[in-house]
Structure 1
Amino acid sequence: MKTIKRLLKGILVLIILLVISLYFYLQHIKPKYKGDLTLSPLENKAEVWFDSYGIPHIYAENKGDLYLAMGYLHAQERLFQMELVRRIAPGKLSEILGKDLLPTDKFFRTLGIHLSSQEAAQKLRTQTTNPTLKEAEAYLRGINEFLEKGPTPLEYELLGIEKTPFTLEDIYNAVGYMSFSFAAAHKTDPLVSFINAELGASYLKDLGLKADTTRQMIPSYFGDPIGLNEKSSAMLLEMLNQLPVSPFIGSNGWVLGPSKTKSGKVLFANDPHIGFSQPSVWYEAYLETPDFQLYGYHLAGYPFAILGHNRQVAVGLTMLENDDVDFFRETENEADSNQYLYKGEWKSFDYRDEIIKVKDEEDIVFQVKTSLHGPVVNGVLGEIVGPDPVAMWWTYNKLPNQVLDATRKLNNAQSPEDVTDALKLIHAPGLNVMYGDAKGNVAWWATARLIKRPEHVNSFTILNGSTGEDDPLGYFDFSSNPHSVNPPAGYVFSANNQPDSVNGYYYPGYYLPEDRARRIKQMIDSKNDWDSEDVKKMLMDETSPAVTQNIGVLLTAMENASLAGNDQKALELLRAWDGKFGGQTAAPIIYTRWLYTILEKAMKDELGQDKFDLFMSTTDLRKRTFPLLIANDSSSWWYNADKKTVEPRQDVIYGALISAVASLEDDLGKNIDKWKWENIHTLTHNHALGVVPLLGKVLNVGDFHVSSGEEVINNWGYPVTSENKYRVSFGPSTRRVVDFSDIENSESILPTGQSGVFHSRHYDDQAQMYVEGKFRKMTINKKELTTSGKLLMLLPDK
């Protein structure tokens, strides 16, 4: 008995010691928010005031010290996020996360982003007087100072990550990944090509690939001068789902000019839509020197803000969704597989070897083959139909990378002309850049090098690489890009929808439906006395005019239907629904399940289950297709391949409602009054290591039961499936309201918190506020900080 007691006492002592050790370890790795901190590369003292949400306000004597401090502080909160981001584009995730990420690494190595990064970094290093180089290197010195002297993050310890210095190549790789995630063609073209080849061109008509002039477009105003198949898409989507950081999805942005606001000053709103994760994508910081001020939003490992404002100007962005990728089928020489046909001549493929390090495994060596169009994606992007290689042509890899210079110029812009000069340098990714300033100017620019293509080319399908006749013809001049500067309407807006034509030409792209854009315009046009409170409410709007329009079409198709019980009650709920995705209503549940079932009955017989699931996952296609399909009596999709007959549109819609309600009864019970949208619509911010159940309980943030839905202004996306849960995967990565009538009280919010260190109080201190639609101040007045903030003095090592 005494032996057992001694054993138990020993175990208890061991547990106590472990708890104490864990406590002191967690205290050790917490970010430093006050006191003194010596940084050896610093030239002069600098002050950092942290507000109540842990956002640093850095005051330095020069830009070198400013960006050095920024790099250090960014790293102390987000080093692991930086590590992941710098590894995606060069294909180095397997080295720390294991062999499951090997297909992803092979794909990104094949794209060659890392080669473009090396070229851009080498070129920048030769420009010794370029301020972009000086400020980027200062930022890197700050990161590496923390890497050397700061505490090691928990994730590094758990994964056994070796610390290696950050470089200019890492910065370019970060923006390279952003450019890739903005490009939709990788995810869409293979499926569209399959439908075109296997089912015929008539099946493309309801996919909404062509510009529809009856829909709400982004209006331009020039008045002011200033062989793939569907498995390729499936494989890519699977790889993207494995990525441990957030992809860019979509966005809203609008800028109200003096004629639309109560104050007569510009009101600016922006909420870029990005995949949810923990930590969230943006790191906020206010930067100030005697001749520079900026409140900015920074990507992991990137020195310059992507979104930002000061007392003079505000800049934000949404995704343009332009098509900057083409796939070319090359004709291989039967006598020599190292050659391909181009304009009547046999040309030799280029080859390079890539070595990928894999955790706890032998290194993997594979060969990348490249034609003049680009890298051959056979083997890294799923199965290829036919024996010939398919090469990927991508604007990002075709032109010199000047994005770093462009973003620095944007951070220093003081006028529309300054912004235009910066935007001319951006070739990819495609962006809608929103602008407003204290002088009353409002503007929007579609920003990218937009491709000139031959008139016969359908850029959504695989092109012929052998003749040269399908090749891009070059690029339009930036002056021909859609844009609007100080339009007569008094405002500009963007919601990833199709821009209006320029000289009669509609630039092809993967634009989202008009749903959000129409709602934004509808609301802005309703009044001319907007204030910041109105704009904040608008950012949280949950109503979709497109949903009520779709329901109107469906109800017309159901006019002669004989219904009873829950079928009839479901129809009555939809008839009374105003399109608002409220948490306490059943209507969004019924509508979403009916939508899914209609598409399933119309398309699965032709596509099969796997391809149908892929179609539903290809969000832009699904959203464009549904309203066109349900309104088209003669759609090819009404042909039932199983029954070998055409089913009337009304019959499919009727049968889908019956099936949808029956499946919901099985999932949620027969009492329709208890069906509540927020019970099955949930949001969790997942940490990269949260897939491990024990770690997920500690590192993930959520689960929140939420209202709202997709393609409303407060746009929360989720996979639309037959399951009884709709788990939100993306949404507003921040909500910003910049009010030039009261610039010091402009407001924003982050989805979780500023810090990526889970033991920090700022790890998730904004999460509940975010789901409730609350905001917090973006403080730019130093006097406020000195009375309520915490001071961290940065001292040079003398």
Structure 2
Amino acid sequence: MSIVFRWLLRLAVVMIAMIVLAVGLVYYLASRSLPEYDRTVNVADLSAPVEIVRDNANVPHVFGESDRDVFFGLGYAHAQDRLWQMTMMRRTVQGRLSEVFGARTVSIDRLMRRLDLYRLASRSVGVQDEQTLEALAAYAAGVNARLLQINEEALGRGAPEMFLFNAPVAPWSPADSLALVKLMGLQLSGHVTAEVLRARVSLALEDQDRLSDILPDAPGSGLAALPEYSSLFPDAPRFAETGPAARDPLSPVPERGFAGASNAWSAAPTRSAAGGTLLANDPHLGFSAPSIWYLARLELADGGVIGGTIPGIPVVLTGRSARLGWGLTTAYVDDQDVFIERLNPDDPEQYLTPDGYKPFETRPSIIEIKDAAPITLTLRWTENGPVLPGSQFNLGTVTPPGHVTALGWTVLDPDDTSLSAALAIMSAKTVQEAIALSEGYISPAQNLSLVDQDTIAMKTIGAVPKRDPQHQSQGRFPSQGWRAENRWQGRMPYASNPEFVAPRGGILGNTNNKIVDRPFPDHVSFLWGDTQRINRWQRLMQSRQVHTRDSFIEAQLDPVSFTARSLLPLIGADLWFTGQAAPEGTPERQRQIALGLLANWNGEMNEHLPEPLIYAAWIRALQKRLISDELGPLADAFTQVEPLFIERVYRDIDGASVWCDVKQSAPKESCTDMARLALDDALVWIGETYGTALESLRWGDAHQATHDHQVLGDVPVLRYFVNIRQSTSGGDNTLQRGLTSGKDPTPFHNVHGAGYRGVYDFADPDSSVFVIATGQSGHFLSRHYDDLSQLWRRGEYIPMSLDQELARAASVGVTTLVPK
């Protein structure tokens, strides 16, 4: 027995030793790619030494003798910290993910090849101005200098993910950076999804008057009646199956309601306590680890610029110089149209145009797939745009037999000079100069908020398609591509884009709300990203005569829901404090406790309170009950609550209360009945998920910010190292926006919000502040992987200073790049 025990002990010791050695080897290999910030590196393609000073938050401050050298330094810094992220974004836009991940990503690659974004970006290199071409070439050289260093010094392949996936890294090129701008355009575009959904709902509803209930227009002047979708395409399927619900984290296609959002507001000197202009900006994108944002400072010939960049793109997209501040919000310009193209019944390789049948423009494209045979696609284009399969965007559900769909989209312009315009803004000295320089910006359309020392402004930048006044659907749902009146007629003049300069009130802002009310075709858009946050913003801005940096920060972090304050009195009007006291433990008792809590609640979506969870679960259950019988399986497409729909129903606007009656049941249900039943549904779900002690609930337990690694986030054990989860306040309709997933089993996870926050104060520019949601490094073994995340969660910021000595004080290292 003792012999067996000794051998078992020896075996256990050997196994433990092997595990320790394996872990040590993995750690050694992974840690080799941790960048060493405090060193001197000899590099090629550099005219003079460059210093990259990393302050104590690991924000690189890049100093060089020329702008070219500074952009070289930015490329090197991006590649130091975010190489894996950059290469994955490049592979995505190239349609080459399947070379690394196999069959899992074939559908993504198919779409990207059909959209042809990378080829279009390559064509657009030649139309950039000389300054941009020099910046792109220098930036690419900086990235490649880091790649060469990794290879020569065996620095762990540059990122630990490279050991897990065979992802060879090609040298960076100017076309790569331009392609990433187009990829951002895809991530910020939601009109194609909205068009298809509107068409599907139109087909599903028996009463077309109800379409304006469930898909309401933003408040403003009414819209002339549109034809029913079935009148345009009588053969379109009325109840087709929805596409797959699961979405790959690597997919760049946003789901409905997730196509970008943002906040930006500014104050003129007359509304600033210190007498200088103020600007706050927090762009909203899907959360990930690391964040899409990367903080950087560039010391250019025209002066320093500092703010948020996206790795792979050599531009400060939101930030400030000593003279100018700029910020971005998604403009929701209607820059996409779905065209239904009629095939020639005698030759399916031809499609109908206003001039008769024409052949598709075609080209083969081969997708290499890891551990599988390659596949060959035949890419087809019409005069309206690329042909997309019915499986994408659920296009097959609205496409009649004998037809295909094509996509018109401003991002597909091969003469896209957006990056040249974005680079030029960094050197602008005044608001008017920045507006003029933005004329060459094409896509994705943005509201550009600007402040200089004296003036505030907001200008919508980006191409706006010019449509015929006789357009059949006004671009609201798919139209007949062979009719001349449905086709784009070029673009609207830049001067017609909405513009607001030096308003009398001294305050400007945008929360993706409707900013102009023009008749079609000068309308800009029918789809807007917000009808709720703007109300809270207006109150906060007008509640003070003058503002400060801190009051702008307070507004960025405001968790009060105007939506909750306005909807709860409506849906609970006949439920508050009614009925007799119910016995402990009964559903009636739970309902009374919940109503009692909500009756005394001020609408603050605070992470420590129970009321936000009760409210959110109730309103979600209510919408589901209201729409399920009318829409059937299509109801699952409405993952987010539409506040205007709930309001229309409970105010009975144009007979909208008809949604409260369940068509399949004999009795006629009232809206009060639906509110009570929905509250019971919500309380049952809460009890099963979080327990029945309502007073002990915490909104933050449900509303966790999910900064997950796109590739390793679901891998057992590893996910605890690479994912960043945080309890957060805010919600779908608060200025501190934390958009919920809307999907079971975690419908209230915070998945989309302000990955970057910045507040710029031109009374004292160096008192400006900013922060990102994770950390600067994309290496999960780095202490800078998540060191800013707790600051972000607590609503804290770091200094945004152009003071060189302040950057050097307590820096984490200085990298000196020296020409070979």
Q: What TM-score comes out, normalization by structure 2 length?
A: 0.90
Asked whether 1:700 is paired with 2:723, we answer yes
Tell whether the 8 Å contact from 1:81 to 1:245 is kept in structure 2 after alignment: no
Specify whether residues 180 and 415 from structure 1 end up closer, same or farther in structure 2 by C-alpha distance, changes over 3 A only: same
Asked whether 1:571 is paired with 2:595, we answer yes
What residue number does 1:402 align with?
Answer: 417
Amino acid at match of 2:166: G
What residue number does 2:111 align with?
Answer: 107
What is the Cα deviation at residue 160 of structure 1? 1.2
2:603 and 2:175 map into 1 onto residues whose CA distance is 47
2:10 and 2:218 map into 1 onto residues whose CA distance is 79
Tell whether the 8 Å contact from 1:193 to 1:229 is kept in structure 2 after alignment: no
Asked whether 1:178 is paired with 2:184, we answer yes
Task: Give matches, 1:524-539, under 5 Å.
Answer: 524-539=541-556
The one of 90, 93, 96 equivalent to 2:97 is: 93
Bigger mean CA deviation after superposition, 539-548 or 784-793: 784-793
1:188 and 1:266 map into 2 onto residues whose CA distance is 37
What residue number does 2:310 align with?
Answer: 299
DSSP 3-state at the match of 2:265: strand
Bigger mean CA deviation after superposition, 578-587 or 173-182: 578-587
Tell whether the 8 Å contact from 2:54 to 2:808 is kept in structure 1 after alignment: no
DSSP 3-state at the match of 2:337: strand
Specify whether residues 715 and 659 from structure 1 end up closer, same or farther in structure 2 by C-alpha distance, changes over 3 A only: same
Tell whether the 8 Å contact from 1:269 to 1:535 is kept in structure 2 after alignment: yes
What residue number does 2:175 align with?
Answer: 169
CA deviation map 1:147-200 (0-9, x unaligned): 121221111121011121111221121011111111111322211101112315
1:339 and 1:719 map into 2 onto residues whose CA distance is 42
DSSP 3-state at the match of 2:816: strand
Bigger mean CA deviation after superposition, 15-24 or 312-321: 15-24
Asked whether 1:331 is paired with 2:339, we answer no
- Residue ranges of structure 1 left out of the alignment (5+ in a row): 216-226
What residue number does 2:33 align with?
Answer: 29
Tell whether the 8 Å contact from 1:344 to 1:467 is kept in structure 2 after alignment: no
2:511 and 2:348 map into 1 onto residues whose CA distance is 46
DSSP 3-state at the match of 1:473: coil
Tell whether the 8 Å contact from 1:590 to 1:661 is kept in structure 2 after alignment: yes
What is the Cα deviation at residue 312 of structure 1? 0.7
CA deviation map 1:597-638 (0-9, x unaligned): 2211111112224x222122xx4x835433333332622534
What residue number does 2:648 align with?
Answer: 628
What is the Cα deviation at residue 237 of structure 1? 7.1
DSSP 3-state at the match of 1:363: strand
Tell whether the 8 Å contact from 2:466 to 2:491 is kept in structure 1 after alignment: yes
Asked whether 1:495 is paired with 2:511, we answer yes
RMSD of aligned C-alpha atoms? 2.6
What residue number does 1:160 align with?
Answer: 166
Bigger mean CA deviation after superposition, 405-414 or 3-12: 3-12
What is the Cα deviation at residue 449 of structure 1? 1.6
What residue number does 1:507 align with?
Answer: 524
Tell whether the 8 Å contact from 1:709 to 1:716 is kept in structure 2 after alignment: yes
Task: Give matches, 1:107-126, under 5 Å.
Answer: 107-124=111-128
Task: Give matches, 1:34-113, under 5 Å.
Answer: 34-113=38-117
1:502 and 1:528 map into 2 onto residues whose CA distance is 31
The one of 268, 273, 295 equivalent to 2:279 is: 268
Tell whether the 8 Å contact from 1:750 to 1:766 is kept in structure 2 after alignment: yes
Specify whether residues 28 and 90 from structure 1 end up closer, same or farther in structure 2 by C-alpha distance, changes over 3 A only: closer
Asked whether 1:454 is paired with 2:480, we answer no
Asked whether 1:197 is paired with 2:197, we answer no
1:654 and 1:391 map into 2 onto residues whose CA distance is 45
CA deviation map 1:691-740 (0-9, x unaligned): 212221221122x2222212101100112356466211111111111111
CA deviation map 1:302-321 (0-9, x unaligned): 11121121111111101011
2:241 and 2:771 map into 1 onto residues whose CA distance is 34
What is the Cα deviation at residue 436 of structure 1? 0.9
What residue number does 1:554 align with?
Answer: 571
Bigger mean CA deviation after superposition, 627-636 or 407-416: 627-636
What is the Cα deviation at residue 10 of structure 1? 4.7
Asked whether 1:679 is paired with 2:701, we answer yes
What is the Cα deviation at residue 517 of structure 1? 1.3
What is the Cα deviation at residue 583 of structure 1? 2.1
CA deviation map 1:448-505 (0-9, x unaligned): 2222323353322111112222222332211111121100010110001111235895
Specify whether residues 557 and 367 from structure 1 end up closer, same or farther in structure 2 by C-alpha distance, changes over 3 A only: farther
Tell whether the 8 Å contact from 1:39 to 1:145 is kept in structure 2 after alignment: yes
Asked whether 1:712 is paired with 2:728, we answer no
Amino acid at match of 1:697: Y
What residue number does 2:439 align with?
Answer: 424
What is the Cα deviation at residue 235 of structure 1? 4.0
Amino acid at match of 2:798: R
CA deviation map 1:522-555 (0-9, x unaligned): 1011112321122222211000222211112213
Specify whether residues 411 and 474 from structure 1 end up closer, same or farther in structure 2 by C-alpha distance, changes over 3 A only: same
Amino acid at match of 2:416: N
What is the Cα deviation at residue 641 of structure 1? 3.8
Tell whether the 8 Å contact from 1:351 to 1:369 is kept in structure 2 after alignment: yes
What residue number does 1:441 align with?
Answer: 455
Specify whether residues 668 and 11 from structure 1 end up closer, same or farther in structure 2 by C-alpha distance, changes over 3 A only: closer
CA deviation map 1:399-433 (0-9, x unaligned): 62001111110111111122112221122111011
Specify whether residues 211 and 787 from structure 1 end up closer, same or farther in structure 2 by C-alpha distance, changes over 3 A only: closer
Specify whether residues 232 and 472 from structure 1 end up closer, same or farther in structure 2 by C-alpha distance, changes over 3 A only: farther
Specify whether residues 301 and 108 from structure 1 end up closer, same or farther in structure 2 by C-alpha distance, changes over 3 A only: same
DSSP 3-state at the match of 1:357: strand
1:27 and 1:239 map into 2 onto residues whose CA distance is 32
Specify whether residues 353 and 679 from structure 1 end up closer, same or farther in structure 2 by C-alpha distance, changes over 3 A only: same
What is the Cα deviation at residue 510 of structure 1? 2.4
Tell whether the 8 Å contact from 1:120 to 1:401 is kept in structure 2 after alignment: yes
2:498 and 2:104 map into 1 onto residues whose CA distance is 42
Q: What TM-score comes out, normalization by structure 1 length?
A: 0.92
CA deviation map 1:113-165 (0-9, x unaligned): 123112112444xx6xx011011100001111111212211111210111211
The one of 344, 360, 369 equivalent to 1:349 is: 360
What residue number does 1:470 align with?
Answer: 486
Specify whether residues 568 and 446 from structure 1 end up closer, same or farther in structure 2 by C-alpha distance, changes over 3 A only: same
2:746 and 2:317 map into 1 onto residues whose CA distance is 37
Amino acid at match of 1:428: S
1:379 and 1:213 map into 2 onto residues whose CA distance is 35
What is the Cα deviation at residue 591 of structure 1? 1.5
Tell whether the 8 Å contact from 1:191 to 1:230 is kept in structure 2 after alignment: no
- Aligned positions, number: 777
Specify whether residues 326 and 721 from structure 1 end up closer, same or farther in structure 2 by C-alpha distance, changes over 3 A only: same
Task: Give matches, 1:353-372, under 5 Å.
Answer: 353-372=364-383
The one of 700, 706, 713 equivalent to 1:690 is: 713
What residue number does 2:230 align with?
Answer: none
Task: Give matches, 1:130-149, under 5 Å.
Answer: 130-149=130-149
Asked whether 1:746 is paired with 2:768, we answer yes
Bigger mean CA deviation after superposition, 269-278 or 363-372: 363-372
What residue number does 2:251 align with?
Answer: 243
1:793 and 1:777 map into 2 onto residues whose CA distance is 21
Specify whether residues 631 and 462 from structure 1 end up closer, same or farther in structure 2 by C-alpha distance, changes over 3 A only: same
Bigger mean CA deviation after superposition, 670-679 or 227-236: 227-236
Bigger mean CA deviation after superposition, 749-758 or 83-92: 83-92
What is the Cα deviation at residue 793 of structure 1? 4.3
2:437 and 2:259 map into 1 onto residues whose CA distance is 22
- Residue ranges of structure 2 left out of the alignment (5+ in a row): 223-232, 581-587
1:123 and 1:691 map into 2 onto residues whose CA distance is 42
